Structure 1
Amino acid sequence: MFFLHRPTPKQAQAFLERQRQAAYSYAEVGQTRTALHPTGYAIDQHSTRLGTGDECFTLARAALKTWKVFETPWIRLTNPAAPFTEGETLVVQIAHLGFFSLVADRVVYVIDEPDCCGFAYGTLTGHAEQGEERFLVSRSASGEVTFGLSAFSRPRHPLACLGQPVVRQLQRAAAQAYTAAMMSAVKEAK
């Protein structure tokens, strides 16, 4: 859904309520759990080191579970109080190219293990793209803490098809923004 002005909280809430009933817009739900990428999609993978040690991992885990990954200058979660749970619908507001959009995704699965924490969300039928993205914080045996993204996507709406080069640039910029948000959350929390 596109807007010429920043959507109001009431507009965002109404959109969220409509999207709670929407279905996934792709067949490969949960595919980011595996190393196998579905064919016919653009694949994005990014990983960055956040630091080392238990404190860094604890801070990164808390940041991810409280959706700090969406605290960027141009991407915001409209329902930041949403629980970190499978099946939760999230609405992200994006400011781009002189306008705003609301996009909805549903949490496909969560990971909450001693040395890794994360979630994947998938696009719903109202989204211009279709696919899935996984956000993961992990701690190695040596104590190194990393933040990683893994995604597959392709255009669904005709405008997304026409603007695919711009969409791909925005997706790369979003990955950088998510990484910066996680790095900031870990740094600020120390």
Structure 2
Amino acid sequence: MVFLFWTRPSLQDQKACIDKSGPFNYDFKHHGLSSDLFSSIQQNQDLSKDGFFINHARILLGSGQNTYEKGKTAIQTWKHFGLKWAFVDPKTKIEKGTKFCVCLKEILPWVVLPLQVAYVRDNSRVAHVSDNSRESKLKASFGFGSGTLQGHLLAGEERFSIEWDENNQVWYEILSFSKPAHFLSFIGYPYVLLSQKYFAHQSMQSVRKHVTAQQPKM
């Protein structure tokens, strides 16, 4: 089951895909794992044994509470998917259990990929974080992870998060683990991996543009 459209998918098209999709298409033992630190996921033997590929990208957005709040708002309003070739309905609620679609423009058709919000993390309390050589105390963090549903070309999970650390720096991070769930993605997996990296780059530029465009004038 693959959801393809020759024109930009409407909200009705997306709803129809969600209605036809099934539950999560990856093993229950991996649900929520994308909320872990990058170093922990790298060392997770079960993910490696089960054939998952890890994709990770991180960018400095700036510093201070205003930058953090703008970055958080960017994720909450799906600015990280505000691309010409990839989008999510910006009115989609970021709440656990919400089903939604990522729409991607390929060479000819649009591909619609069904997902479900697996968890949401909104932490304004100071928390100690240790990630190999990186140790900091987060002033605040916000993020969510979405899992692939049956009908998605991949199987796995992806997290988008904003962190404000003790050095007053604000970071945007994308972390995912995935593997092919359809013969099309299996035979074209090298292209899929390149697309993931390209998306991460584009997404980070989109969030950075949103944050810097709204910085108050000094």
Q: Do both share a fold (TM > 0.5)?
A: yes
Counterpart of 2:23 in structure 1 is 23
- Of the structure 1 ranges 90-99 and 6-15, higher mean CA displacement relative to structure 2 is found in 6-15
Amino acid at match of 1:45: H
Counterpart Cα distance in 2 of 1:55 and 1:8: 34
C-alpha root-mean-square deviation of aligned residues, in Å?
1.3
SS at match of 1:169: helix
Counterpart of 2:129 in structure 1 is none
TM-score, structure 2 length as denominator? 0.82
The one of 12, 15, 19 aligned to 1:13: 15
Amino acid at match of 1:85: E
Pick closer, same or farther for the CA change 1:155–1:172 going to 2, 3 Å.
Answer: same
- Listed as ranges, the gaps of 5+ residues in structure 2 are 125-139
User: Cα distance, 1:87 vs. partner?
Assistant: 0.9
The one of 77, 86, 104 aligned to 1:66: 77
Count residues with an aligned counterpart. 187
Counterpart of 2:176 in structure 1 is 151
Q: Report the identity percentage.
A: 26
User: Cα distance, 1:10 vs. partner?
Assistant: 2.3
Counterpart of 2:90 in structure 1 is 80
The one of 160, 163, 168 aligned to 1:138: 163
User: Cα distance, 1:62 vs. partner?
Assistant: 1.1
Amino acid at match of 1:25: N
The one of 107, 126, 136 aligned to 2:117: 107
Q: How does 1:123-134 map to 2 (within 5 A)?
A: 123-134=148-159
TM-score, structure 1 length as denominator? 0.93
- Dislocated runs of 4+, deviation >4 Å: none
- Deviations along 1:30-60, whole A, 9 cap, x unmatched? 1112223411111111100000011100100
Counterpart Cα distance in 1 of 2:9 and 2:60: 35
Residue 116 (structure 2) pairs with residue 91 (structure 1): no
Amino acid at match of 2:119: Y
Bigger Rg, structure 1 or 2: 2
